A and B are shown apart, each in its own frame.
Chain A
């Protein structure tokens, strides 16, 4: 199936600004789904609020556009009631780790089979450029005109510590790498977190003098390096890309089925 067949084109034009990285990430995701030959009816997408969350409207899957921060909570409900469906959750940095931070760590702790994509542009884009828990120190934002003093989460470290059994990072520049990682994340049985660095030229780029979308994309390329690469060895301050965690751990829905089977056996015996 062609990628455009996964889109609800009646919702276009989309709301993303020119140069936004989110469309590229959506493209990587749809290619991953296409290559896995998943059927549209077997995919559920839940999303919260923000530029990234608009994806659930643009894709032709079962989609739930839910409340700010609650995408993973709603996804958990969907997955527990229909464990055979693939549940994919696109989130922004604010949605996933500020207002939704609690759900994020608990979904990881349970290791429920959901694919969480954190589209990290380090800013609240939709509401006009406020800093987020992923902005980090020394960043300009509308709520920090004289730069931020807040430390940021490292999504990879946070997800790993909270118990996610698949954790990876890519960028909007590394389109094919993202597709490859997303394929593995979707196939992985357990909670998968894929952080994809995105660019917001409208708010983050303009405020922090990172230039236009092209130069921001260039930064994704120059500021990151693959895990195990010589570049990273030589320059450890670069942000590592790749798969950090990929382990087999008991998955929550499967464990829950076991509890039900056990309880039913007790009841009938």
Chain B
């Protein structure tokens, strides 16, 4: 069914179609309409789930961890400071290998307070071990949520589905809403191997010592470093797992094909603008203007940021003249996190482009097409300009 709705409703609809069983959430702008929609679905009995309106984000994630440990498919959503308030629990959910799914409507972090969009909130959590998927439009939001549930339970790692606050969360766009039957055949019920079961008592996440030690049956069990090593290895294979899930999704629903990166006019391009999220669609207009002037430029968005699809990115950028990384987040005191990751991925490549870094849109600062055009034009004119100091767009000092 084709509908026109907000990004938050697209996310809520994806959660409903995925038959999440427990939802715990706390209101925070701009995520709130998503959880309101879910509570409406649940209370009208359109959606058979437990909705728990908790007293904070910390509790929201705690409820999801507990629900998932008890074998339920659990979901929450948040933004900005709410995500950071969950931080302790985010690490716990990953370490406990719980297949949670969480939507994050990206928003800047206080202080000073801002309710507007940037991506510092989720980017600051990149090292927690969660899988991070970013959506560029409403269709990608609903599709990513459904795929995220399958991915999470396949690899036993929680997944964040991130989308730009307001720009996507509150705007209305047409998108295709899959049928329940189709989603049911794509996403089987959650059937965990280990879960809290009174018939089969177990000890979850017991204290580890620095070295390995035997478990109750006398067998040596993995210690802390082994458990964390395995998490990392599993995250690395997640890139292929997600590509396979996306392929399956494409076969069934006719949409997909760009699970890790999405490219626009990149094939013959000398220059590629690289970004995350909805900015990539705004950049398409700029790229078209520059193409009219004969500049061979394209745009690439990173769809899965963690695990980082380094090989795919190297393959896409290695033979270009310049990659221009535009970010709505910054690793303060250093450079844009995505910029650093891309340079790191290219380090061992035989050929590599120059890489430029721009910071923009923090706290919802308007991103003007003219500013993007000026920045990209400058980078394309002098790609050999070296320097890791990020350049700022739209700054009014």
Contact = CB atoms under 8 A, between A and B. Distances in A.
A150 B51 CA distance: 13
Contacts of A144: 39, 43, 53
Given A67-B110, A130-B27, A145 B55 contact: no
For the residues of A in contact with B, the DSSP-based class is loop
B26 interface: yes
A127 B33 CA distance: 9
Contacts of B51: 143
A130 B81 CA distance: 18
A65 interface: yes
B28 A127 contact: yes
A98 B36 contact: no
A142 B39 contact: yes
Contact of A131 (B33, B53, B57): B53
A101 B58 CA distance: 13
A124 interface: yes
A95 to B, nearest CB: 11
B169 interface: no
A126 interface: yes
Interface string B14-41: 0000000000001111001101100110
A33 to B, nearest CB: 25
Contacts of A188: none
Contacts of A126: 29
A130 B110 contact: no
Nearest to B112: A65
A243 interface: no
B241 interface: no
A12 interface: no
A145 B39 contact: yes
Interface string B100-133: 0000000000100100000000000000000000
A41 B58 CA distance: 36
Nearest to A127: B27
Contact of A124 (B27, B40, B85): B27
Given A65-B113, A145-B43, A127 B32 contact: yes
B200 interface: no
A130 B55 contact: no
A49 B111 CA distance: 12
Contacts, number: 53
A127 B80 CA distance: 14
Interface in B73-104: 81-82, 85
A220 interface: no
Contact of B55 (A65, A99, A143, A146): A99
B377 interface: no
Contacts of A110: none
Interface residues of B, number: 22
A124 B31 CA distance: 14
Contact of B56 (A65, A98, A124, A128): A98
B39 A128 contact: no
Chain A CB count within 10 A is highest, among B56, B57, B110, for B56
A128 B36 contact: yes
Nearest to B33: A128
B27 A128 contact: yes
B348 interface: no
B48 to A, nearest CB: 15
A174 interface: no
B44 interface: yes
Contact of A142 (B26, B36, B57): B36
Contacts of B32: 127-128, 130
B81 A101 contact: no
A68 interface: yes
Given A130-B27, A130-B53, A146 B113 contact: no
Contacts of A146: 43-44
B81 A143 contact: no
A67 B81 contact: yes
Interface in A38-72: 49, 65, 67-69
B29 A127 contact: yes
B55 A133 contact: yes
A143 B39 CA distance: 5
A125 B348 CA distance: 53
A133 B28 CA distance: 16
A128 B57 CA distance: 17
A195 B342 CA distance: 54
A255 B57 CA distance: 35
A121 to B, nearest CB: 15
A146 B46 CA distance: 13
Contacts of A124: 27
Interface in A195-253: none
A206 to B, nearest CB: 15
Contacts of A101: 55
A246 B370 CA distance: 64
B95 to A, nearest CB: 25
Interface string A122-166: 001011101101000000001111100010000000000000000
Contacts of A145: 39-40, 43-44
A99 B29 contact: no
Contacts of A133: 55
B44 A69 contact: no
7 contacts: A67-B110, A98-B26, A99-B56, A124-B27, A127-B27, A142-B39, A145-B44
Given A98-B56, A130-B36, A131-B53, 11 more contacts: A49-B113, A68-B28, A68-B56, A98-B55, A99-B57, A126-B29, A143-B27, A143-B35, A143-B51, A143-B53, A144-B43
Interface of B: 26-29, 32-33, 35-36, 39-40, 43-44, 51, 53, 55-57, 81-82, 85, 110, 113
Closest 4 CB pairs of A and B: A127-B27, A98-B55, A99-B56, A142-B36
